[in-house]
Every structure is written in structure tokens, then in C-alpha cells.
Structure 1
Amino acid sequence: MNDPLPRFCSACRNWPAVPVGTDKLPLLKAWPDRATADEDEQCGWLRRWPRAALAVHLGGAGIVCLDIEGTAGGAHATSGEAAFSELLERLGPLPKTAMSTTPSGGQHLLFQDPGGLRSRVIAPGIEIRAGTALAVLPLEGRTPGRRWIHHPDTGVAVLPVKWTDALRPPPPPPSGPPVRIDHRTGRYARAALDDELHQLAGTAEGGRNHALHASAVRLGSLVGAGLLEGQAVADLLELTAREMGLHPKEAIPTIRSGMAYGAAHPREVA
């Protein structure tokens, strides 16, 4: 097989990347630690996995990705075209920047990371990706539906201040009043915690970050009800995530997001 990188844009060669399958999931364990801009290693990955592509480690590259879903995003996808138009009208135009098409007919817009952003859905069909998130890069012959509209070689723009402020995550909800915990509810909460951690630890590879978020939401609802102590739960979730092979840079934001949502929706225990 010939060198698969000659047609790769030169700017991308400076970005740490990892190999991903056709499902866009990394093919390496502990991938945040193994992302690299080394061409020889990237070539080796692509030779080892003939159908693999490369995805940039956004945090490592110092960029963020505005992911706008297209109309062909699948049965459960929501096109972000209308929401993006509304954002442009409300926040103002975006500067020309590195941009690519996606298989759904959507777009990936890449910007310099202003700091303080995390991956989250910001509007129907629109997601901001940052930190340990990945963005698949167009690679001829490997990524049908992906092509550069504006090459990164022409520059990666700075986000306008209005957009940066709008994309920052909202502050966590205030903690509720203290709840008196009796012996019965305490035993229930402890059993729920142990069961949740046990189930989470057995999650198969490929769905671990999603399972971590779901566990954080459920346990956060017990924290919000005053039945568990928040920091202790977060520490146990992070420990379990490490044992599952998730990098802290990926796991910690997931835990915080899930627990914040759960705490805002306390569980009722009869």
C-alpha cells in the first residue's frame, strides 16, 4: 500500500491524531495519551487498518469543532441548518476558517480553542466539540462524504467574543437545602451506588463514555436528593472510569456534566 498521507493537508500534519473506524470510534486503548502528529506512526496505523481514518484530538491540537448536522444524519438526527441560521442572526457572522463537509451533508467548522469550552449540544442539530473530543479529518479514499471546503492551510480562525460567550457551558445549578438522611434511605443510597459502579465497570468498550454520563446522572439525582455526598461520588466515578480505560481529561467533564444534570433533578425516594 502506498503512503496514505501525501494528499493530507500540511496544517493537519501538526495536529495530534488517532486512528478511528468507520463508526468514528478510536481503534486504540487509552487513545488520548497516544494521539500523535508523527507521520510514520499515522502511516503505520492506516496500513494496519485499511478502512481506518484519522481523527484530530481537538484539545491536543488547540482547536474546537462546531459540528452542524446535515439532513442525511440518520433517522434520529436533527438538521442544524435552521438553528445555525438563528445563531448567526443572533451572534453575528463567523470568520472564514477551516471547514469540511460531513457524510450527513453537514459541516465541521474548526476554530482556535479559546479555553473554557466543553463538548455539548448547543442547539438542535449543533454540537460544540472540545477537549478530548475527536473530529474525523477528510482523507481521500478513506472518508466518503468528507472534503475540505476551506483547507486548514488557509488558517484556523479565532471565535468572535459573542460566540465564545454563548458556547461556554452554563454554571452548575445551586445545591439544594440539606436533607435529613435516615438509616433506611442511607442503606438504599449506598446499595444504589454500589450497584451503579458495578454495572458501569462492566460496560463494553465503545459505549463507556456514554455509560459514564448515564451513571453520573443517576447518582447525581441521589446527590441532589441529599442521599449521597457529591465529591465522594465524583471521586468513585473517576476511579471507575480510570479502571475502564477512560482518560481523566475525557471522564471528568462527562462526570461533572452528568452529575450537574442529575442534581438538578433530585430522585424521589418513598
Structure 2
Amino acid sequence: MSPEGPLMHPDLPPSVSRAHRLTLRRAALYYAGLGWPVIPIAPPDAAVARPGKQPLVRDWPAAASTSPEQIQAWWRQWPDANIGIVTGPRSGLGILDLDVDKGGAASLAALESRVGCLPGTVTVLTGSGGAHLYYRHPGIALLSAADVHGPGLDVRGDGGLVVAPPSRHPCGHRYAWVGDVRGMRRETLADYLADWPAGQLTPPQRSCPPLTSSSSPPTAPPAAALRASSRIPETHREARVEAILRGLYEQISSRPRGQRTRTLYWAGCRVGEHAAAGILTPERAIPVLVSAGVAAGLNPSEAIHSVKCGLRVAAALSVAIA
């Protein structure tokens, strides 16, 4: 199959999608075909204020386009440009942005210990080792802001953008889809994108600095302080562990064909984050996740493989904030 050919087969074991083998231009056209307006972003070696993340066009929220002709023209002018996807009502996307350098993994683990596991959805591993969780926009105002749900856990919604695969981060690594997205098309997006979990992601009553194309989230507290703040009183630990495992089991066991291995992978990542925060152990969680995968119709070896892939990614994230 051509490296720029179709992008999916349902229920294959999770792997980084072959979307990373597309050229930047072809990937931009692919996203436009999903109905996601794109813009060219300065490459990581550009002499600009924010290489790898700075839009190359003026008034980018309005200029972002799904027109193949416009996209072809932009990438003829800037063939090495990264790809930006505009979030909010125009694309129908709301993104939860996990920045490991600012404590996002610990913040997500602490959040899920309070509100339950977030719905599994399409995810991008960022060039710096963080993650973008792609959700369907809720259809009401969704402010793009930093540290909304804890240090390093940002929202990219109205007026925001995300850098998309296979763009390059200044550190040299590429953004990449997690799991298998080769069947993600405009008409199948509902099978890949979960609804924005508004009930779980209710912002706390505090002001959050807005994210713009020229700003970045403020510096977070040291990682050691984040780990300490995420500790749970012993009297509540068991109840929270049970709630987390019950939520994960329900998410996995109810998945239809085509979403099962991806949801198990996501659940493995969540367990790894909770383990790094000292909330539960993988040894306790793995049998529950595998049992849920079997209940959804997978065989045990497929389920174990998917869970362990997710755990390995989460372990890499926890090392990055240690």
C-alpha cells in the first residue's frame, strides 16, 4: 500500500498511525477533507518568535481553510510548514491539551480521580511527549485557556488551534496519531470522536489566561509538588480506585467493533497516569481491563497487548515529568 494511501483497518492492535508517513501537504489536505480548517505553521527551524507553533498567515482564525486550492498554494509557498487545525465551531473540535512539561499528566490523573474516567477518544501524541485528546465541540462557548483543569491541562476550543501530525516539534520529534485512525473520514468521525465531556470538565471558578497564537501557558509548580498534591487520603483511596476501575470497565465493555482496541489502549494510558500519581497499581487494574476487553469481544491476547501499549506510553510520560 502506498504510504499516502488509505488510513485504517478496524480493530488492529494499536500502533502509531501511518498518517505520520504522509507528507505535510497531503496531511493538510486530509484534515481539510474531514472538514477541519487548516493553516500553515512556521517549521521548527524558522526564524520566528515561536518556531513550530506560530501561524504563517495573518488573521489565521478567519483565514484557515478547507479549500484544496488554498492549501496547495500555501504548501507550495512553505513546503516544510507544520499544520495547524483551528479548533472551535468551525472545525467542530474541542481539544484537551496535556503538556507533560508543565505537569499535565499528574493533573489529568488527579482530575479523573475526582470526576471519573474521561471518555476514550482520538488522541495525538505531541512532539514534546504530551497529548491532544480530540473531542466533538459541545456546541456552546468553549473558551481556549491555559491550566483550566490543573497545571499543564489546557483547553483548545473557540479561537484556538492545535498543531497536527506529522508536524515536527522543535525538539525534533513528530506529532503522531495514537492508535489506528486509517478509517477516519468525514462520514465516520462520529465513530472516532467522543462528545466533549462537559459534565466532567466543568471549569473551576477561577480565571484562566486565554491561549493565543503568541502566548503559552504559565510555568507550572515543580513536578514533585504536583505529585504530592495528587495524593489521596487513605480513607478515600479505595473508593476512588473502585470508581476508576468501574468507569474503565464500563467504557471498554460497551465499545462496538472498530473502537475496542483503541479504548483499551486509552484505558491503559489512564491506568499508567493513575499509577504515576500513586492512586492505583497496574497489577490491580490490568485484570479488570483485560476482562472488559474480553467482554467486548476481543480475545485475551489482543486485550493484553492493547493495555500494555497504553501503559508503556503512560510510563514514558511519567518519566518526562519526573
* Candidates 143, 162, 177, aligned match of 1:148: 177
Query: 2: CA distance between counterparts of 1:7 and 1:26?
Result: 17
Superposed CA offset, 1:40-98 (max 9, x none): 2112212211221111110220211111012xxxxxx4131111101111111122212
Shift of 1:12: 5.0
Counterpart contact for 2:40–2:81, Cα < 8 Å: yes
Q: Quickly say closer, same or farther: Cα 1:111–1:3, change in 2 above 3 A.
A: closer
Sequence identity of aligned pairs in percent?
Answer: 27
Superposed CA offset, 1:152-207 (max 9, x none): 5452110234224x23x7488xxxxxxxxxxxxxxxxxxxxxxxxxxxxxxxxx74
Q: What is the aligned partner in structure 1 of residue 195 from structure 2?
A: 158
Q: Secondary structure at the match of 2:73?
A: helix
Query: 2: CA distance between counterparts of 1:17 and 1:83?
Result: 29
* Candidates 42, 46, 49, aligned match of 1:21: 42
Q: Quickly say closer, same or farther: Cα 1:9–1:107, change in 2 above 3 A.
A: farther
Larger gyration radius, structure 1 or structure 2: 1
Q: Quickly say closer, same or farther: Cα 1:84–1:171, change in 2 above 3 A.
A: closer
Query: 2: CA distance between counterparts of 1:44 and 1:130?
Result: 27
The answer on 1:57 being equivalent to 2:86 is yes
Shift of 1:5: 3.9
Query: 2: CA distance between counterparts of 1:29 and 1:130?
Result: 19
Q: Which runs of 5+ in 1 are unaligned?
A: 71-76, 173-205, 211-270
Q: Quickly say closer, same or farther: Cα 1:41–1:8, change in 2 above 3 A.
A: closer
Q: Which runs of 5+ in 2 are unaligned?
A: 1-21, 44-50, 186-190, 208-212, 217-322
Shift of 1:32: 1.6
TM superposition score normalised by structure 1: 0.54
TM superposition score normalised by structure 2: 0.46
Amino acid at match of 1:93: C
Query: 2: CA distance between counterparts of 1:35 and 1:29?
Result: 10
Question: Which of the pair has the greater relative contact order for Cα pairs under 8 Å at 6+ separation?
Answer: 2
Q: Quickly say closer, same or farther: Cα 1:21–1:6, change in 2 above 3 A.
A: closer
Query: 2: CA distance between counterparts of 1:119 and 1:18?
Result: 18
Q: Quickly say closer, same or farther: Cα 1:125–1:3, change in 2 above 3 A.
A: closer
Query: 2: CA distance between counterparts of 1:155 and 1:80?
Result: 23
